Structure 1
Amino acid sequence: MKNIHCLVFGHDFKVTRNVTYHVKEYTCKTCNKQLTTNGSGHLTELTPKFKEINDVLERIHNKRISKTKHQKVKSDLLVFSH
């Protein structure tokens, strides 16, 4: 019955996970269909392969963000003024 609603009215996707600034995972509120953003920016079905790719991307993204935040804190501590 849920799939009929999506067939007639279309899916109602919501963001369930922000992988990076540009890559997100979406889930339909009605039928729980999952999509993600692929390399060219289009939505594709979330397969186990894309799930694994998103996990790796998120890990790299989080490391890069924490590294830049850590560098900013260090640079602020080393500023001397006379």
Structure 2
Amino acid sequence: MKNSTSKPTLIPRMYCNLFGHDYQVTKKVTYHVKEYTCRHCKKELTTNSNGKLIELTPKFKEINAILERIHLSRTERLKKKSLVSSIY
């Protein structure tokens, strides 16, 4: 079984060194914070508080999980509030 945190092989790393990374959004944490993964070398990035892309470390994974939980609860609360106010 292959470990998901293993180093990428030589070919994908060389491709990314020559042509650059091909990042795809893998997770939308909030409207502004997203997680990205390179299609070739599997490097993971996220956006920081300034909107810049930074490496996705375990610390940032935890921060993103908390942000996502807060964002989901807030959007659910706003949906319920708008439904109640539209009834009256």
Q: Alignment partner for residue 32 of structure 2, among 22, 45, 70?
A: 22
TM-score (norm 1): 0.93
**Backbone CA RMSD of aligned residues:** 0.5
TM-score (norm 2): 0.87
Identity of aligned residues (%): 55
User: Can you give the 5+ residue segments of structure 2 that lack an aligned partner in the other structure?
Assistant: 1-10
**1:16-59: per-residue Cα shift (whole Å, max 9, x none)?**
00000000000000010000000111000000000000000000
Match of 2:70 in 1: 60
Match of 1:37 in 2: 47
Give me the whole-angstrom Cα distance separating, in 2, the residues matched to 1:58 and 1:72: 21
Give me the whole-angstrom Cα distance separating, in 2, the residues matched to 1:75 and 1:63: 18
Give me the whole-angstrom Cα distance separating, in 1, the residues matched to 2:51 and 2:22: 19
Displaced runs of 4+ in structure 1, greater than 3 A?
A: none
The answer as to 2:19 corresponding to 1:9 is yes
Say which one has the larger Rg: 1
User: Can you give the 5+ residue segments of structure 1 that lack an aligned partner in the other structure?
Assistant: none
